[in-house]
Amino acid sequence: MPTSIVGKPPSNQRGFSYVMVLAAIVIVGIVIEAAHITTWRLLQTDREAELLFRGRAYRDAIKSFYQSNGAFPRSLDDLLKDPRSASRRHIRMLYPDPMSKEEKPQWTLVRATDGGISGVSSKSKDEPLKQAHFPKDFEKFAGAKSYAEWVFDFVPSAVQLPRPSQPLPPVVQPPVLRTF
């Protein structure tokens, strides 16, 4: 009967431990990949929520600037410190684009017809995870192919005076009660 190096008879389970270690490595790799994908989706969802928050902040600041000055701001810095007022601020701070991969993330500026800034949008061409169920103000973002299509702009509504469809009835004076 042949013997092994150690003096024991040879075993039919040669390499079993090696196979188990390889199986464990594959399983750990699969778990790590699943965790990586889940973490990436959570981070991307968080960045999308931040984009919606910052975009709304810019849109509301542009609206506030327009309502107080009657014109759109010429630069984003005008939102931070209104040039027509000593202490008026329309936005708390200038937020960077959370979806941008640039070193200094900047927004794409949406220009109004007068040359001012009427809105902002992300420069990212990545496809959004969020495709539906947007807040009421942002329902137009549904089905967007990239974050650059999420445009946060303020469009002033035309001021219209109400026009009655029928002429107003004449004012009838109540009868005067006379006492003698």
What does the pLDDT read at residue 62?
94
Scanning the structure block, which residue is given the tokens 């965790």? Answer: 35
Look at strands 151-153 and 108-111 and give their pairing.
unpaired
- What is each CA distance from 41 to 25, 90, 110, 150, in whole angstroms? 24, 33, 29, 19
Task: List, for residues 76-130, the tens digit of each pLDDT value.
Answer: 999 998 888 878 889 999 999 998 877 778 899 999 988 999 999 999 999 998 8
Place of tokens 């007022």: 85
Question: Cβ neighbours of residue 59 under 8 Å, at least 6 residues apart?
Answer: 119, 120, 152, 153, 154
Q: What are the Cα distances from residue 149, in Å, to 85, 86, 139, 159? A: 33, 35, 12, 28
Q: What's the pTM value of the predicted model, to 2 decimals?
A: 0.69
Query: Residue 109 pairs with which residues in a beta bridge?
Result: 120
Q: Count of alpha carbons within 13 Å of 157, Cβ hemisphere only?
A: 3
Q: What CA–CA distance (Å, rounded) separates 65 from 74?
A: 11
Q: Are 157 and 115 in contact (CB under 8 A)?
A: no
The pLDDT tens digits of the residues spanning 124-136 come to: 999 998 888 888 8
